Structure 1
């Protein structure tokens, strides 16, 4: 009975959120069980271009480090904001949501080449948080019961938290930058005088 309840809950998660979070958890589990190593997953343009290890373009978005506080923190935020986007502003627009994933992933891959980042999953999570926060500007947030602020400040609060944990803020800045590019092209520019929609979901999606 408990298994059926868990299965029902799992199947109620929107498709894209379910697929991405499951892939992240399974990838981390495979590393923990030593079936694969992070060296087979990380982003390396040389190995992708010269050795045709194309899977690295995807796997570097799926590994968030060993199981621990950082992994759980990222998974909670990834699941929460990915699901809220998919059930909110992307409800009934799965193709557009997948296109945002592809657009964000492509931009991050290009930027990641210049800033020597080997795993981009955390930056991708920040991008999702940024887009959600800009589309829900009036939502009041509370961070660990310490800080109260409006939703648009959330990515910056998370960046400050990263800094406190001793992590590099380059990852957070990359996520914010890519999130802003998407938000500007999709939500701001089309409503400007003389503006238009530059981001159009390809027909094959």
Structure 2
């Protein structure tokens, strides 16, 4: 589902990077497709250097140990129709499927709302930044990176694959946003953060 975005009015500067004004540094989880610039942004912020992975179909994924150290780069496992296990978008099963798998948003688990004074507000604990450069720019960067041979996911790149990866992340960003989680987008590491404008508005 397409949606609109708009620059945030309330912003702050953290280590020369513009962020939403209402968040704290230690809430940040940076995600996005391969080559989006996640590692570069984490290094700039001085965040946790090791990549994490979260399967969004798992019950209580929000309590995972890999989320305890932030800011951090997080790879996401997504549910797709016809696949029992969640897939990352660099997994062979996703890349080599005869047709692009359709994401099954209803299988994504959402943290519960805070119910008691002393309970954890899981929906507020994390802020998801979706780093989503334009597909042509992302292709250009990954083709350049492929010359170094450092990332196997950069082999046999096609623009349509990158466009599909970005579309999946956009769908999930909207779904998490509409489910009450803190979500914003950024097109490049030096760009301003963008808020999602709900379709019904």
TM range (shorter): under 0.3
Which one has the bigger helix percentage? Answer: 1
Q: Which has the larger radius of gyration?
A: 1
Q: TM-score, normalised by structure 2?
A: 0.24
Greater RCO, CA 8 A, separation 6+? 2
Task: Give the number of the structure whose residues are more often strand, by fraction.
Answer: 2
